[in-house]
Chain A
Amino acid sequence: MAETSTTTSFINGSSSIASLATDHLFTILLLLPMDSILYFAMTCKKFRYLATSDILWESVCRRDWGNTAVDALKSSFHDDEQRRLIPWITLYKQVSRVDSVCCYKLAEPDPDLILPVPRASHSLNFVSGCLVLFGGGYEGGRDLDDTWAVYIGNNSQNMLKWQKIQTGTPSGRFGHTCVVIENYLVLFGGINERGDRHSDTWLGQVSLHENLGISLSWQLLDVGSTSPPPRGAHAACCISSRKMVIHGGIGLNGVRLDDTWIIELSENRCYGTWHKIVSHPSPPARSGHSLTCISETQTILFGGRGLGYEVLNDIWVLHVTEGYSKWVQIFYELQNIPAGVSLPRVGHSATSIIGGRLLIHGGEDSLRHRKDDFWVLDISHISLEKMHPTRLNSKRMLANKWRRLKPEGYKPGCRSFHRACVDDSGRYLYVFGGMVDGLLQPAEPVGLRFDGELFLVELVLQL
């Protein structure tokens, strides 16, 4: 609709916007997407000065990246004289333009070191400054039940030493999900050696001790009588300080599911309540897909393997607000994206990185070819938050940003069903395990094997 509010004010030939106090101008600018702020800055010299100010842009960074990432950036520049003086608008630009990653191998094989066995479909999380690994399938079977942890803190590139925490609880499984809610781990579902699907929910809490190292206590969460049907290879993510959402997966009898459930933890974290989300339309049934929360109200679902065994590449956004949840599909055309034909995948990892974007790595396509690529998906120009709930289908600029990143440094092999998690800064991704291409043997076809290496992926900022 043509805007009715473009009234111009020629009284006295002066602009009333010029009389606006700086505070109010900043309040208004902070409601705008980044490109509108810059267009506003281009109107005249005075507004350029105001709209590119460092104070404003630190607020823009906090708005778009979150306080944790901004504080992590500030503390990492703390000792670096030069970097501390970089203006926030420049930092914003460089974070937005990230087009390459640099990989580093971690955990050198040391004969004295006991390492977690190579595995896939396990869970890997970053919580309380530690990486925590649980379960998965391995060469000898499908139900590892060991919990491992390693402290990282702020030293992302030190050689790391895995510590075995415990075994046995929770029971062995693969294809489960584990998400971090505040500083708790919430584990759900999974499949055991016999093929039984689980529907139990576990809560884990990490404690760090001076002398004793890391300890972790797992407890079965009391969820009352309602819980989702048992499943494995589903997707899950944390969506708020008390809630987790799960979708799909492979249920009883090997049938792929399409249901969406949200669990809300009680204040004291002693019990949880599951309820099912009903929304039409909603993503079709699938397994091996990913769910990633990118903002307070938006969660992205991508890929997976559907009912007909086909490998998918559709994107769905779950918009959750107080008492209202809705799935919205984001359409795009593969042929318009360079190398877009490789996008359909299952068993990939999708993590939320700085700037509310998704970093997608690996996975396999319909021909079971494993990938080693890195993609960034950016749907930040869709401002669903500001929309009145009944207008969720309304006009929005969808600038799907599929960008393939250039990998530098160590070249990790092609893999699927690995796990990845990002640290507090949102710029460092830890990847462990997965199924990788095996060695070619003259008499055998290209095999596959389980991988046990941990590597680090850094988003390269040109500073």
Chain B
Amino acid sequence: MGSTSTKIKLRTSDQKVFEVEKAVAVQSQTIKYIYENGCPDSVIHVHSVSGDILSKILDYCKKHVNSAAGKEDISPEELYEWDANFVKVDQNTLFDLILAANCLKIESLLDLTCQTVANMIKGKRPEEIRTTFNIKNDYTIEAEEAVRRENKWAFDMLGGVGTMVIEELADDTMSKCVTNAKSRVCVIAANQIVMMRSISKLANKKSIDVYKQPQNPTTPRIKESVKQINVGTGFIELFFHFKCKM
């Protein structure tokens, strides 16, 4: 019984002390190494991590240890959801978590936080990325145009026939799909086929009629409205108001 409730003391950069179970603390390879190679009774200093961040990290480690050991009845899907909520923090905290996860060598947390940042970049155009991360645009108009032309090959490849799948949605939620401005699009939502007209004709419209194929082929097709259209350079964002339960 004694070994399972061994506690380790951790002192952070701002002099806060945390006492945690060994099983939780050694999720960090760094702490594990120090513990196994040093004096087990003394306090371990985690110099580069603040109290707030360490507190969050210990929450993460505890959740994962308990889930793996079966102490908590939590399914993989629930753990996945918990992780997703864990990283819903402001950017400063997120980047601090990356630094700390790297320094403490907690691989799964590093993967999670890096994937979170990647998700914040994915699907966005440069202007949106700048807004998200408060990046200052230091290009001149000419330079920016030159870079865009240089990379044109990659974005051209995304043109052509586009077929989009929209998430299976709960009733009345908004969904977004982004498509290349040149293509004619056939949209599929939850195995229903939604036909759309040529995208090039959409640019001037305020709303578009989207026809949804119901699951039962004998019922007539439903007309849905696209609530909002944003036209950008080479792309159009369409916001659908979908009632998916048929």
Contacts and interface: CB of A to CB of B under 8 A. Distances in A.
A46 to B, nearest CB: 8
Interface string A73-104: 00000000000000000000100110000000
B144 to A, nearest CB: 7
A333 B155 contact: no
Contact of B160 (A35, A397, A399): A399
Q: B158, B163, B175, B183 — which one has the most chain A CB atoms within 10 A of its CB?
A: B163
Nearest to B101: A24
A38 B123 CA distance: 11
A97 B177 CA distance: 25
B164 A397 contact: yes
A331 B193 contact: yes
Most buried by B among A18, A44, A332, A388: A44
Interface stretch (A3-11, A61-69, A146-154): A3-11
Nearest to B156: A97
Given A17-B91, A395-B165, A398-B163, A96 B153 contact: yes
B136 A398 contact: no
A72 B135 CA distance: 39
B154 to A, nearest CB: 5
A396 interface: yes
Nearest to B178: A397
B126 interface: yes
B176 interface: yes
Contacts of A330: 163
A16 B80 contact: no
A33 B122 contact: yes
Secondary structure of the B side of the interface? mixed
Interface in B122-174: 122-126, 129-139, 144, 147-148, 151, 153-155, 157-168, 173-174
Contacts of A34: 154
B188 A331 contact: yes
A394 B119 CA distance: 15
B173 A1 contact: yes
Contacts of A9: 90-92, 133-134
B15 interface: no
Interface string B74-97: 000100100000011011101100
Interface residues of B, number: 70
B163 A332 contact: yes
B44 interface: no
A17 B133 contact: yes
A4 B88 CA distance: 8
Contacts of A42: 126, 144, 147-148, 151
B161 A28 contact: no
A14, A19, A24, A400: most-surrounded residue (chain B CB, <10 A) = A24
A32 B118 contact: yes
Nearest to A13: B134
Given A1-B175, A35-B158, A398-B162, A44 B130 contact: yes
Given A390-B77, A395-B166, A397-B164, A96 B154 contact: yes
Nearest to B90: A7
A10 B134 contact: yes
Contact of B92 (A11, A24, A45, A337): A11
A326 interface: no
A45 B138 CA distance: 7
B186 A331 contact: yes
A35 B51 CA distance: 38
A401 B102 CA distance: 39
B190 interface: yes
A17 B95 contact: yes
Given A17-B135, A24-B102, A43-B135, A32 B121 contact: yes
A41 B95 contact: no
B186 A388 contact: no
Q: 3 tightest CB-CB pairs across the interface, nearest first?
A: A31-B118, A42-B126, A9-B91
Interface of B: 77, 80, 87-88, 90-92, 94-95, 98-99, 102, 110, 114-126, 129-139, 144, 147-148, 151, 153-155, 157-168, 173-178, 180, 183-184, 186, 188, 190-191, 193
Given A24-B98, A44-B136, 11 more contacts: A1-B167, A11-B92, A19-B95, A21-B99, A28-B114, A45-B139, A93-B154, A332-B186, A388-B80, A390-B77, A400-B163
11 contacts: A1-B176, A7-B91, A13-B134, A28-B121, A35-B157, A39-B125, A43-B133, A44-B135, A44-B136, A336-B160, A394-B167
